[in-house]
Amino acid sequence: MSHPSTYEPSNGFSKWLDRRLPVLRLMHGQFIEFPTPRNLNYLWTFGGILSFCLVVQLITGIVLAMHYVPSGDQAFSSIEHIMRDVNWGWLMRYSHAVGGSMFFLAAYIHIARGLYYGSYKDPREILWILGVLIFLLMMAIAFMGYSLPWGQMSFWAVTVITNLFSSFDTIIPGVGSAIVRWIWGGYSVSETTLNRLFSLHYLLPFILVGVVGLHIWALHVVGNNNPTGVEIQSDSDSVPFHPYITMKDAFAMSLFWMIFAWLIFFAPNYLGHSDNYIEANPLQTPPHIVPEWYFLPQYAILRAIPSKLLGVIAMFASILVLFFVSWLDTSKVRSTKYRPIYKWFFWLFIFTCIALGYLGAKPAEGVYLFYARIFTAYYFIHFLVVMPLIGVIERPKPLPNSITEDVLGKGSSPSGGAGKPEAAPAAPENR
Amino acid sequence: MLAVLLTGGHEVRAAGEAPHIERQDWSFAGMFGFYDRGSLQRGYKVYKEVCAACHGLDHAHYRNLSEPGGPEFSKAAVKYLASQYEVRDGPDSEGQMYQRKGRPSDRFVPPYQNEQEARAANSGAWPPDLSLIAKARSIHEETAWYKAPLKILMDIARGYQEGGADYLYALLTGYQDAPEKMSMAEGMTYNKAFPGYQIAMPNPLAEGAVEYTDGTPETVENYARDVTEFLMWVAEPKLEERKRLGFRVLVYLLMLSGLLYFAKKLVWRDLGH
Amino acid sequence: MASDIIDPTRRDFVMIASAAFAGIGGAASLWPLIDQMNPDASAEALASIEVDLEPLGEGQAITVLWRGKPVFIRHRTPEEVSMAKKVDINALPDPEAQNTELPEDAPATDKNRTKEGHEKWLVVVGICTHLGCIPKGQGLTDQKGEYGGWFCPCHGSHYDTSGRIRKGPAPDNLAVPPYKFLNDTKIKIG
C-alpha cells in the first residue's frame, strides 16, 4: 500500500524495533488502518472465518498427531485411545473432524460470494487463482486426513480415489497402473500407503498456510471487492479495518462458533459415516461407498460420465475450470446485483451444485444417474457458455456512482463528511 | 419420458430397499441427554450373560465400568469382576507366556483369539466386536428429494445421533417367523430389521433369560433397550461429559455474541449504515 | 454530525469488555490443549501396581515396571540387613532417607528406607541418581559393587544393601517409592 502510514511507535521498544524490522508498522497498516469498503455485507466475514478454521485445524491436528499411531494395526485403535483415554481427546478429535466440515462449508460460501459479486474480475485475477489453489490443497488435505482413522470408509475411499489414476491406462497402457502402484507403495492400499498419507497430511497444511499468506497479500494489494463492485474512490467510501471490520467479523465469527460448537458437542458424528467406526477390512467393501459431504458434487460428476477416463477428467475439470473464470466472464460489471439475466443463471448454478451433492449420495443408477448427467452438463455449460454469452448480450442495471452513494442514497457527495469516520485513511492506490 | 424414468428409478429403489426402522426415545438423546445408570448396569448384565459369549469389546477396559459417566460400579466390584477373567500376559523371565487374573486396567477379554477362531466356532460367521457397534450402524430413512434438505437441517438441529441405537434395538426385537414365500439359507434366521432379512445370529434374547434384581420386568424389549443403552455407552463413554461441556460452551458463546453484537452496533452507529 | 457520534469512552468500554470476555474463552480453551499432554487414563490406570512377593526366596530380587520405571525389590538375607543397619549415617555421601513417605530431612537409616515389621524387604526405584542408568545387582550373578548392593556400570556408582550411595559420582540414595504391604507377601506400589 502506498498511502502514508499513520503508525506512530508509542514506546521506546517499538521505536527501536520500527527502525530495524517495521513489523508493527506493517501490522498496523494491514490490519488496523487498512481501508475497507464500508458496504461489505456479512458474506465478507467468511474470509476471517476461514482463517479461524485453518488455525483450529492446525492446532487440533498437531495435538492429535501427538497421540495418533499411523500403523495398519494401531491407527484405528489409537483413535479410540484418543477418544476414550487421552485427556480431552474426544474434544480434539471431534473438533478436528467437525472442523474439516466447517472449513469446507465456509469455503463454499466464500467461493459462492466471490462468484456472485464478481470478485475474480480485473484486478483480482491472481487473488482468485490463489483461492482456487487453496481450494485444491484443501481437497487434497481433507482426502488424506479422512484416510487416517483407518475405518472402512477411509480404506475404501483411498482405494477408489487412488484407483482413478489407473484410468490413464486408456491413454498410455501401463502408465496409470504404474502411478497407482507408486502412490500405494505396493499392490494394494496398505500400511505403507497410510504412512505416506499421514506424512503429507501433516506437511501440506503448512504449505496451505503459505498460499493463504499470498492470498491475503494479494487481497491487500488490490483491496476488497464489495457488493456494488464499484471500487473505492474517496475516503468516505471506506472504513479502517479496525474497529469496523474487526468487530463485524468478530460478531459473525461468534455466530459461526455457535454452529461449530453445536456440531462438536451435540452432533459430532452426524456429518460422518457410521461405516468409518468399523476397522478397515481389505476383504470386504461397504455396500455404499460415499465420500464426505463436501466431495459429493464432484463425486456425482465423476459417476455421471460412463467412461472411466472421461469421468476422472470431468471431475478434475470441474475444479480446474474455476481457474479461468476471470476470463470466461465477459461482463462489464462485477456484481450480479446489477445483472438482471445472469442473476437467474447464478441461482440455477447454486441449485445445480446442491443437486449434484444430493445425487452424489445416491446410488449411480436409474433416475439418479439421469439427473446427475443433466446437472453435470449444466455445471460446465454455466462456465463455458452462459458466463461468456450473457456478459455480451446482457444490459446491466445502472451502477451507483460510488459506494457512499449506494449506502446513503443519491445526492450525498462522495467527499461529503456524512458518516465519515474519524480515522479513515486514503483509498488504496489510485489507479 | 420423464414419467418412464421416474417409474424406472422407483423400481430400482424398491429392489435395494433397506428395512424401515423406527426411531426410539433414548435418555441419552438431545442436548441434556444422559445415561440411565440402572439401564447401563442391567445392560451390562445382559451383555455379560448373553452377548459376551461370542462378541468382544476390544476397545473397552474393565476400569471403564467404574469411571464417571458409565454404569459406575464401585471400584471394588470392578476389581473383583476383572479378577474373574484369565488374561494372557508375558513373556516372563523364562520367555514363557502365562495366564494371570484380570485387573481393572486390562481390556475386556475377547471370546475368540482371532477372526479365524471366531468363524470356525460360528459356522463361518464372524460375530463383530461390539465396542463401537452403536456408532458403526445407522438407519436408512427414505425421504423425497425436496424434503431431504429440511430433514438434514432438522436432524442437525435436534442433534440426532441415535441411529445406531435405533438399529440395535430394532434388530434385537426384530426376530420373527420368516414369511412363507421366503426361502431361508441354511443356519440363517429371519429378522425384519437386518438388511437382507437373513441373519446368522440366532435370536439371543428370550423372556426371563437374564435375571433383573431391581424389579424391572424381564422382557425381551427391556433386555434390548438396556443392552443397547450399555453398548451406546461403550461406543461413546464421554457422552455425558461432552454434552455438559457443550451446554456451557453454548451459553458462553451466546453471551459473547450478544456482547459483540452490541459492540459492533456501537462502532458502526456513527457511520449512518 | 456531532450528535450522531457515540461517546468514544462508552464505545471503548464495550469493546474492551467484549475483548476481555473473548479472552476468557480463549484462555479457557487453552486448558484442554495443555492438559492433553498429561498422563492419560490408561497411564493413570497403571499408576499403582500390586506385586506378589511369595515366590521370592531369600537373597533373590525382582525388577517390576512401575509407571515406566524399574523398581527393585530385594528379599535381603539377615547378613545384608545387619550390614545395612551398621552404617554410620553421618559418614554417608547422602544422609537423607529419600523416602517419599517421610519428611525430606529424615536420616538415611535402614529403618527409614524399609517398612516396620518387613525389614527384610527393600523396595527402591532402580534408577541411578547420577544420570539415570539402571544399576546392576538384581541378577544372582550380577556385579553388586563394593558394598553388596548395586553397581552402576555407566559411571561407577556403588550402592549398599539399603540402596544408599557409598562411592562414585551419584549424589543421592536410590529413591524409595510410595508402597504399602497389603499382607505379608503382597505389596502395592503407588
CB of C24 closer than 8 Å to CB of C87: no
Nearest CA in chain C to B272: C4
| Residues of chain C positioned with their CB less than 8 A from the CB of A63 | 33, 36
CB of A386 closer than 8 Å to CB of A216: no
Average pLDDT over residues A154-161: 95
Domain spans of chain C? 8-38, 43-189
Amino acid at C100: T
Predicted confidence band of residue A287 (pLDDT cuts 50, 70, 90): confident
Q: What is the largest CA-CA distance in chain B?
A: 85
Contact assignment for A85 to C42 by CB distance below 8 Å? yes
A329-344 pLDDT, tens digit per residue, is 999 999 999 999 999 9
Considering the segment(s) A291-408 as one domain, its CATH architecture is: Orthogonal Bundle (1.10)
Catalytic residue among C75, C118, C155, C158: C155
Predicted confidence band of residue B6 (pLDDT cuts 50, 70, 90): very low
The pairing of strands C61-66 and C49-52 is unpaired
Distance CA A176, CA A337 (A): 46
- Structure letter (DSSP) for residue C178: P
Q: Assess if residue B103 is contained within a domain.
A: no
* C-alpha cell of residue C70: 524399574
Query: Hey, is B221 helix, strand or coil?
Result: helix
Percent of chain A with pLDDT over 70: 94
Contact assignment for B249 to A261 by CB distance below 8 Å? yes
CATH number for the domain that contains residue B56: 1.10.760.10
Distance CA C121, CA C114 (A): 7
Residue scoring higher pLDDT (A33 or C9): A33
Nearest CA in chain A to B16: A363
Neighbours of chain B (3+ CB pairs under 8 A): A, C
C155 carries an active-site annotation: yes
Domains: count for chain B? 1
Would you state the pLDDT for residue B130? 97
Percent of chain B with pLDDT over 90: 78
Phi, psi of C18 (to 5 degrees): -70, -35
Range name among A221-235, A363-377, A413-427, C84-98 with the lowest pLDDT average: A413-427
Mean pLDDT of chain A: 92
Q: Assess if residue B167 is contained within a domain.
A: yes
The pairing of strands C157-160 and B98-101 is unpaired
User: Distance from A407 to chain B by nearest Cα, in Å?
Assistant: 7
Average pLDDT over residues B105-127: 92
Q: Assess if residue B71 is contained within a domain.
A: no
User: Distance from C5 to chain B by nearest Cα, in Å?
Assistant: 5
Contact assignment for A270 to B156 by CB distance below 8 Å? yes
Amino acid at C120: K
Would you state the pLDDT for residue B13? 37
| Residues of chain C positioned with their CB less than 8 A from the CB of A250 | 18, 22
Is the pLDDT assigned to residue B11 strictly greater than 70? Answer: no
Predicted confidence band of residue C176 (pLDDT cuts 50, 70, 90): very high
* C-alpha cell of residue B80: 473383583
Is the pLDDT assigned to residue C168 strictly greater than 70? Answer: yes
Contact assignment for B155 to A270 by CB distance below 8 Å? yes
Of the CA atoms within 13 Å of residue C165, those in its CB half-sphere come to 24
C113-148 pLDDT, tens digit per residue, is 999 889 899 999 999 999 999 999 988 888 888 998
Return the HEC string of chain A. Answer: CCCCCCCCCCCHHHHHHHHHCCHHHHHHHHHCCCEEECCCCHHHHHHHHHHHHHHHHHHHHHHHHCCCCCCCCCHHHHHHHHHHCCCCHHHHHHHHHHHHHHHHHHHHHHHHHHHHCCCCCCCCHHHHHHHHHHHHHHHHHHHHHHHCCCEHHHHHHHHHHHHHHHHHHHCCCCHHHHHHHHHHCCCCCCHHHHHHHHHHHHHHHHHHHHHHHHHHHHHHHHCCCCCCCCCCCCHHHEEEHHHHHHHHHHHHHHHHHHHHHHHHHHCCCCCCCHHHHCECCCCCCCCCCCCCHHHHHHHHHHHHCCCHHHHHHHHHHHHHHHHHHHHHCCCCCCCHHHCCCHHHHHHHHHHHHHHHHHHHCCCCCHHHHHHHHHHHHHHHHHHHHHHHHHHHHCCCCCCCCCHHHHHHCCCCCCCCCCCCCCCCCCCCCCC
| Residues of chain A positioned with their CB less than 8 A from the CB of B12 | 363, 365-367
Predicted confidence band of residue A3 (pLDDT cuts 50, 70, 90): low
Considering the segment(s) A42-229+237-270 as one domain, its CATH architecture is: Up-down Bundle (1.20)
In CATH, C43-189 is 2.102.10.10: yes
Nearest CA in chain C to B262: C14
C47-62 pLDDT, tens digit per residue, is 888 898 988 888 889 9
- Give me the interface pTM, i.e. the ipTM: 0.92
Is the pLDDT assigned to residue B73 strictly greater than 70? Answer: yes
Rounded to a whole number of angstroms, the distance between the first and last alpha carbons of chain A is 12
Task: List, in order, residues 6 or more apart from B181 with CB less than 8 Å away.
Answer: none
Amino acid at A65: A
Domain spans of chain A? 42-229+237-270, 291-408
Domain that holds residue B209: 4-60+127-237
A379-411 pLDDT, tens digit per residue, is 999 999 999 999 999 999 999 999 999 988 876
Q: Assess if residue B56 is contained within a domain.
A: yes
Average pLDDT over residues B33-42: 96
CA dist A304 to A299, A372, C124, Å? 9, 6, 71
